[in-house]
A and B are shown apart, each in its own frame.
Chain A
Amino acid sequence: MSGSEPRLEVTGLSKRFGGLTAVRDVGFSIQAGEILGLIGPNGSGKSTVMKAILGVERPDTGSVRVDGVEVAGWPSHRIARLGVGMVFQHSRPLHRQTVLENILLGLLPDHLLAVLPDPANEARARAIADRVGLGAVLDRRPSTLPFADLRRIEIAKAIARDPKVVLVDEPFAGLTARETSAFAKLIAEMRDDGRAVLIVDHNVKSISALVDRVYAMYVGERIAEGSVAEVMQNETVRRVYLGGALETAARPESSFRDAQTPFLEVEKLSVFYGKAQALEDVSIHVHQGEFVAIVGLNGAGKTTLFNAISGLRKYGGEIRRQGQALRGKSAASIARAGIVQSPEGRELFTEMTVRENLEMGGGRLEEKERAERSEFLFDLFPILKARARQTAGTLSGGEQQMLTIARALMMKPDLLILDEPTLGLAPVIMEQISKALERLRGRTDITVLLGEQNVTFALPHADRVYVLEHGRIVWEGDPSRFAAEVGERYL
């Protein structure tokens, strides 16, 4: 693309939060009329990069230039007035105002005395509304509109500002296939208008058709940059998302005794966040003693699925444990009944020690049983024994993850749900967790439901695999067939 000066240029960006380095030495540039995809899993630092560009966070080092003007450290509204716009993922329109008035917000000057409305603005707002497809609903209130229209309002507000640079956060989350292509068109139009567009998302696949280039991040750093094809082939990227070579060690489904009524049955599950559909018609089952892996990228819906099973989210459809419906039971009672989650967010008691956290998990066990169980877990995760008296908040990420799993195991669960246990962890720690899982599988009769993005990690521990994509199950089967049938399409 032409133009000597990039519209947006980020160089050497770094940001720490306390002891945690969120972003280290990130740099890229976007020309006018170009779309860059910034991808990375949860915790990769992409949100922090976005916030640094917008002015919500002040970078520790590095520069952010818009058309050559240095804006790092400026207050957010000043950066916006200079020409940086954003389409937020979780935005809320003003509910008491009409769609038209909401769009007008993007056209208003930042004046204290903007008391009289400018008639020209109204015409402009209507034009923008027509362009994004809201022409017919201008006088309606947002609460009466479907989810896709709410997202359109956000795009309209961003366009109204006539920005030079547009950031778009997870543009297609919660949209159907048809809506996705309509939105892709709108974003492409923004590029054709001569703007520089930065799309931030979890994975390449959903935006591959739209972007010109990709910049991939992991744990705060750049791991690859280039065209879509280049990045998808990149060794490091594949390892981060897929893991490495795929090994399998599956037990056939027929070997599990409860063939008639599987231990856990999920039937036609659907979950909505407000109006956005997070899960659509998901059906899975897990046999007693089986290890089932649900693989899918961040944002596919794994956590939502697990939260529904654990009773933390409302859902449509049925979930049954040994034939008994779980609907209506409180989340705590489901946990007491033996379905225990080791959540993605860990949810540790940060000011309690390792030992105290474990004790909380074993709270309902007898003294002797609790001691035995603790010993078993210290054996499974030796590092926790060494750190028994340390407060959970001071542990490293890997140690915290192990504590989370151990605490869940203290409850002697029948079904253990592991949500992304390896996210953001170093290979050495992944090894330890992998070994622990192997021991659980070989020597106990625990049932495990494992949600993972890293296929290489998940497959050796799975008897069966489901692939979850955009809230739908798209594949089910034997791990050995996974490489052949799914492999390439996954990323």
Chain B
Amino acid sequence: MLARILKSPPVWISLIVVAVASTLPLYVSGYVLGLLTIAYYFGVFSMAWDLLFGFANEVNFGPTFLIGLGAYTAGILDSLYQPPIILCIAAGVAASVTGGVVLALPALRVRGPYFGLTTLVAVLMLQNFVVVAAELTGGEIGLTVPDVISINDRTNYWIALGFMTVSGAILYGLSRSPVGLILQASGQDAVQAAALGFNVTKHKLAAFIVSAFFSGLAGALMVFYLGAASVGTFIDVTVGVQVIVGAVLGGRRTILGAAIGAVFLIAMGEALRPLGDLSTFIVSAIALFVVLVFPGGLLGMLKGAREAT
């Protein structure tokens, strides 16, 4: 089966794209590299979200709760005690995984729109906390982090690209594995999945943890790329919207589509920057258009049909 996965078109096309992308630093400006670096981290945010939504069928309206926990924990630790970066990142991941578990608990008990609401509330809480505890977190101005992983554009770019590729490989592999199959069944019809002998709660909790792990890790890494953390970059609802829209835009339940959608969104946002204030408007309009007309997302468009999955 491993051989079959490697031979499938999405995979080897992705490998080619990654190979090409890794050569970009040779002929592209530092500005574009910086943009793409951020885009790749967002790619991981969106892929982690897709695992939860596309497979476990759990709508997380506050992915930035997990991302923010990871980013700020790592950042605050560093600004307070300056331990090795690895430790900060580990702490960030631990924080976001804990957050994921905390979020999962009510989720697995409530139905319908209530879970989505819980996730939104979590983001609002975190946002308020960061603003109010300004001495610790830098409040609305933001936090400056003393260390960065590297100041070299190319190094940062390759780290981001490599991280996205590895994360994507793991997440995609999970989605195509037996566990991914169980997760899909659990998400689609919990009663029938249980009748087949699967402990739905256990699997969904695991999905939350995996999603939180990658979200937190990507958030922490991004803090040490930017050298700063702020509500506007990591927590704000608009950031969360970008993550979600990226995944839906790319094509849900594909993992790879999520990465494509996220990168596309960010690239487009930048490309339209000369238009000034209109850029957000246009990006949202295009995203809305795709959502309304091509619910299967970009990947769905490429596959031709308007999927009725």
Does A92 contact B189, Cβ atoms closer than 8 Å? yes
Q: How far is the CA of A85 from the CA of B188 in the complex (A)?
A: 19
Q: What does the 1/0 interface line of A74-110 toward B look like (CB < 8 Å)? A: 0111001100011010011011110001001110101
Do B195 and A85 touch across chains, with their CB atoms under 8 A apart?
A: yes
**CB of B203 within 8 Å of the partner chain:** yes
Q: Is the CB of B179 within 8 A of A115?
A: yes
> Do residues A76 and B182 form an inter-chain contact, with CB atoms below 8 A?
no
Residue of B nearest to A157 (CB): B196
Binds A, one of B19-27, B106-114, B128-136, B170-178: B170-178
* Chain B residues within 8 Å of A386, by CB: none
A209 to B29, CA, bound (A): 78
A482→B196 CA distance, assembly (Å): 46
Give Cα A75 to B194, complex, Å.
8
Asked if residues B196 and A80 are in contact (CB atoms below 8 Å), the reply is: yes
What's the count of A-B pairs with C-beta under 8 Å? Answer: 84
**A113 interfacial by beta-carbon distance below 8 Å:** yes
List A contacts of B195 (CB < 8 A): 54, 56, 76-77, 80, 85-86, 88
Question: Measured between alpha carbons, how far is A43 from B196 in the docked complex, in Å?
Answer: 26
Are B178 and A114 in contact (CB-based, < 8 A)? yes
For B, the interface residue count at a CB cutoff of 8 angstroms equals: 28
A117 CA / B192 CA spacing, docked (Å) = 22
6 A/B residue pairs, CB under 8 Å, sorted by A? A76-B191, A94-B185, A114-B182, A115-B177, A122-B1, A161-B197
Q: Are B309 and A95 in contact (CB under 8 A)?
A: yes
Interface majority SS (helix, strand, loop, mixed), chain B: helix
Q: Which of A76, A96, A111 contacts B309 (CB 8 A)?
A: A96
Asked if residues A108 and B182 are in contact (CB atoms below 8 Å), the reply is yes
B198 partner, pick from A92, A101, A104, A110, beta carbons under 8 A: A110
Q: A75-B194, A110-B202 are in contact. List 9 more A-B contacts (CB 8 A).
A: A76-B195, A80-B195, A80-B197, A105-B181, A105-B182, A105-B185, A114-B182, A115-B179, A117-B178
Whether B192 contacts A88 by the Cβ 8 Å rule is: yes
- Give the chain A neighbours of B1 by CB distance below 8 A: 117, 119, 122
Of B2, B188, B199, which contacts A110 at CB under 8 A? B199
Q: Does A177 make an interface contact (CB < 8 A)? A: no
Q: Does B230 contact A (CB under 8 A)?
A: no
Is the interface on chain A under 10, 10 to 19, 20 to 34, or 35 or more residues? 35 or more
Chain A interface, DSSP helix/strand/loop, else mixed: loop
**Interface set of A (CB-CB < 8 Å, partner B):** 54-56, 75-77, 80-81, 85-86, 88, 91-92, 94-97, 101, 104-106, 108, 110-119, 122, 157, 161
In the complex with contacts A114-B177, A114-B178, A77-B191 CB distance below 8 A: no
Partner of A106 from B2, B196, B253 at Cβ < 8 Å: B196
B184 close to A (CB within 8 Å): yes
Which residues of chain A are near B184, meaning CB under 8 Å? 94, 96-97
B177 touches A116 (CB 8 A): yes
Contacts of A75 in B (CB 8 A): 194, 199
In angstroms, Cα B182 to Cα A54, docked, is 19
- In the complex the two chains form, what is the Cα distance from A215 to B68 in whole Å? 59
Task: Say yes or no: A77 contacts B194, CB within 8 Å.
Answer: yes
CB nearest neighbor in B for A108: B178
**Given A94-B184, A106-B196, A157-B196, do A113 and B191 touch, yes or no (CB 8 Å)?**
no
Whether A77 touches B199, Cβ cut-off 8 Å, given contacts A108-B182, A112-B179, A114-B178, is yes
Q: How many angstroms between the C-alpha atoms of A335 and B177 in the bound complex?
A: 52
Bound CA span A91–B197, Å: 16
